[in-house]
Amino acid sequence: MRDLLSSLRTPRGIATALILLVLAALPLLTQAFDQRYLLSIGTRIVIWSIAAVSLNMILGYGGLVSFGHAMFFGVGGYAVGILSAHGVSSGWIQWPVALLAATAWAALIGALSLRTRGLYFIMITLAFAQLVYYVGSGLEAYGGDDGLNISRSRFPGLIDLRDKANFYWLCFALLCASLWFCNRYANSRFGLVIRGAKSNELRMTALGFPVFRYRLAAFTISGAFGGLAGILLANEGAYISPAMMSWVKSGDLIVIIVLGGMGTLFGPLYGTIAFFVLEEALPPILNLAHKGWGEYWMIVFGPLLVLIALYARGGIDSLLGRRHD
C-alpha cells in the first residue's frame, strides 16, 4: 500500500491513476456529455488493452515476438459464436469453453512454435494464425468470410450484457484483473525466469531452469488472456468474422505494445489508448490542414510507425520518467 501511495507521486503514477479513473467513470462521462459513440470506442480500447497486456507477457517480458496473437481473438470469439449459433446462450457455458479452447490451442502451438528461434518463431506464429484465419473463413456454416451475427452472452440474474454501460464495466473490471495478474506474473519467480531468458537464454539454461517449459507456460497463459479478449470482442460487436484475426490485427497489437513501452505493466494500456486516439484524431487533424487529406491519414500513420520503430523503442512509458525496477 505504501508502495502504491509513493508511486502516485511520480509522473507515471499520476498519469496512470488519471487514465484509470477516467476509464472507470467513462460510461458516466459519456452519458453526461451525451457522447454514446465514445463509449463504444472506450469498450474497444479496454478489450484491446487486455489483448495487449496478454501479448506483453510473452513479447514484452519474454522477448518472444509472436506475430499471430490475433488468432486468440478468433479462437475465443469463434468458441462463443459457434456455441451461440447452436442456441447455447449462457455465458456460464460459453466463456469457460472459450477460455479452455484458447488455452489448449495456445499450449499446442506453443509446444510446436517454441522449438524455433528468432525469425522462425515470428513466422511460425504467423503461420498458425493464418491457419486459424483460413479455418474461420472456411466455416461456411458459421458465415465463412462474411462472418456471423450472434447474441451477447447471457448471465441470468447476474448481469445484463446488452446494457452498454454494464458490458463496459465488466470489460474494465477484467482489464484491471489482467493488469493485476500481469503485475504478479512479472514480479514472481516465474516471471523473473521468463525475463532472464529474454536477456540470456543460455545463462538461464546453465542455471538449471528448463527454459522451454517456462516459456510454454507463459505462452499458454498469454493465450488464455488473449482468448478472454476474443470473448469480449465477439460480445462487443455481437459478431464474429475471420477479419477479427487477420494478420494485420496481430501487427496492430505489436505496434500497440511497442508504442506503449515493451515489458512495462501499463505500457499496453498507454499504447492502446494512443493507437485508438491516433486512429480517431489523425483524419480530422489532416482535414483541418487541407480538406480531403483526412481520408489518407495512413500516409502519415505509416511513417510515424517507422519513426517509432527506429527512434522510440522505449515507447510512451519512457516519456514518463525513468523506471525504478
Partner 1 sequence: MEYLLLQVLNGVQLGLLMFLLAAGLTLTLGIMDLVNLAHGSLYMIGAYIAWTLIGVTDSFVLGALLALPATFLVGVAVEIVVIRRLYARDHLTQVLATFGLILFFNELVRALWGPGGKSIAVPTFLNRTIEILPGVPYPAYRFAIIVVGAAVAILLAWLVARTRLGMLIRAGASNRRMIGALGVNIELLFSLVFGLGAVFAGLAGLMAAPIASVRIGMGDDILILALVIIVIGGIGSIKGAFIAAMVVGQIDIVGRAFLPDMLKTFMSSSAASSAAPAISQVLVYVLMAAVLVWRPTGLFGQRT
Query: Do residues 270 and 116 make contact, with C-beta atoms less than 8 angstroms apart?
Result: no
CB of 314 to partner 1, least distance (A): 13
CB of 271 to partner 1, least distance (A): 12
Instruction: Report in angstroms the alpha-carbon separations of 190 from 96, 220, 320.
Output: 25, 14, 27
Q: Taking the CA of residue 226 as centre, how many other CA atoms within 13 Å lie in the half-sphere pointing to its CB?
A: 35
Residue placing its CB nearer to partner 1 in the complex, 99 or 126: 126
Q: Taking the CA of residue 175 as centre, how many other CA atoms within 13 Å lie in the half-sphere pointing to its CB?
A: 29
Residue placing its CB nearer to partner 1 in the complex, 96 or 138: 138
The H or E element containing residue 317 is helix 315-319
Residue type, 106: A
Residue placing its CB nearer to partner 1 in the complex, 123 or 165: 123
Instruction: Report in angstroms the alpha-carbon separations of 26 from 12, 77, 160, 168, 289.
Output: 21, 25, 18, 9, 30
CB of 63 to partner 1, least distance (A): 9
CB of 282 to partner 1, least distance (A): 11
CB of 67 to partner 1, least distance (A): 7
Residue placing its CB nearer to partner 1 in the complex, 117 or 162: 117
Residue placing its CB nearer to partner 1 in the complex, 14 or 309: 309
Q: How many CB atoms lie within 10 A of CB 325?
A: 6
Give residues in contact with partner 1 (CB under 8 A).
Answer: 59, 65, 67, 112, 115-120, 122-124, 126-128, 130-131, 134-135, 137-141, 144, 247-248, 251, 254-255, 258, 296-299, 301-306, 308-310, 313
